[in-house]
Amino acid sequence: MEKKFLSLEFVDKTFPLPNGKEYVAVKDVNLQIKKNEIVSIIGHSGCGKSTLLNLIAGLDTVSSGGVFLNNKEVNGPGPDRAVVFQNHSLLPWLTVFQNIEMAVKKVMPELSKKEVQERVDMFVDMVNLTHARDKYPGEISGGMKQRVGIARALSIRPEVLLMDEPFGALDSLTRANLQEHLMRIQQNVKNTVIIITHDIDEAVLLSDRVVMMTNGPKATIGEILEVDLPHPRNRVELQNDKEYIRCREAILSFLYEKFAKEHE
């Protein structure tokens, strides 16, 4: 029996509707996540997967049940649960360096000016952006912005890295490139990562476990799939790997047979 690291227990989330009724977004979600584990949460749009991430991040509060990190209940956002937002959310008036610096300075006030600078530069380098260090977000590509977002999130030494469809807005080549980036970073520094995605290949490629959500309202966890593939993974070699194919098919059948979404 492992010590509980991150745990969601009987989590419900309801939203009030303008007509006075309530919308039950997620219901009875129970999930245990181990330290240094990479977990993907996948489901059709409107299945409450982003809601779940916001609850873990503390940007939204649970209606009942609880989210626990190291046995302490989460009640509000904090730097121990860094978020990589879907649309990068870099501050456009700060350079790449300054965006990360702002986070480091705030979360680690004990660092000297020089230490802050070294730390920021280390994370800029980790996502291969040293050449764009002093550029503004408006001057770099979408993929680069998302890399800055990842660097900023990792620079504050989070317990959990939460990624809300981090590569969703990018073209497929850039997306693959960023997945490689993330896997390489993960080889060097183990992080606990939760990725919200609707991309089956991304889920299998990156994760140790894939959590499949049923459709909303009252969405909950339908199945959890263990991806039994060693790291580091190579996307080309995996294409013919039996385990990879099994995982893909399991998710496909869940999403398109058991919980197929009616045409919208």
Partner 1 sequence: MKRESYKKIVLPLIVFFIIVGIWSSIAQNVNNFPTPMDTFTHAFGGTTSDGDEIIGVLSDPFYVENEDDKGVFWQIVNSLQRVFSGFFLAVIIGVPVGLAIGMSKNFQLALEPYIQIFKPVSPLAWLPLLLFVFQDINTTAISTIFVTSIWPIIINTALGVKSVNEDYLNVAKVLRFTPLEKVRKIILPVAVPYIFTGMRLSLGIAWLVIVAAEMLTGGIGIGFWIWDEYNNLNYYNIIIGIIIVGLVGYILDVIMGKIADYFDYRKRA
- Tokens found for residue 137: 């977000």
Whether the Cβ atoms of residue 203 and residue 124 lie closer than 8 Å to each other: no
Nearer to partner 1, 43 or 158 (CB): 158
| Cα first-last separation, the chain | 44
Q: Assess 93 for contact with partner 1 (CB under 8 A).
A: yes
What is the rounded CA–CA span in Å between residue 33 and residue 54?
Answer: 16
Q: Which lies closer to partner 1 via its Cβ, residue 65 or residue 79?
A: 79
Pairwise CA distance, residues 219 & 98, whole Å = 39
| Phi, psi at 214, each rounded to 5° | -75, 170
32 is a site residue for partner 1 (CB under 8 A): no
Binding of residue 13 to partner 1 (CB under 8 A): no
**In this complex, which beta carbon is closest to partner 1, that of residue 124 or of residue 221?**
124
Give the interface segment with partner 1, choosing from 17-25, 99-107, 121-129, 210-218 (CB under 8 A).
99-107
Determine which residue in the list 33, 41, 52, 82 makes contact with partner 1, applying CB under 8 A.
Answer: 82
Interhelix angle 113-126/142-155, rounded to 10 degrees, is 130
Asked if 231 contacts 62 with a C-beta cutoff of 8 angstroms, the reply is no
* Residue closer to partner 1 (CB basis): 98 or 186: 98
Q: Does 145 bind partner 1 (CB under 8 A)?
A: no
Residue 92 beta carbon to partner 1: minimum distance, rounded to whole angstroms: 6
User: Least separation, in Å, of the C-beta of 91 and partner 1?
Assistant: 6
Least Å from the CB of residue 89 to partner 1: 4
Q: Cα separations (Å) of 240 from 43, 70, 176, 189, 210? A: 24, 39, 18, 28, 20
> Which residues here bind partner 1, judged by CB under 8 A?
57-59, 76-79, 81-83, 85, 87, 89, 91-93, 102-103, 106-107, 136, 156
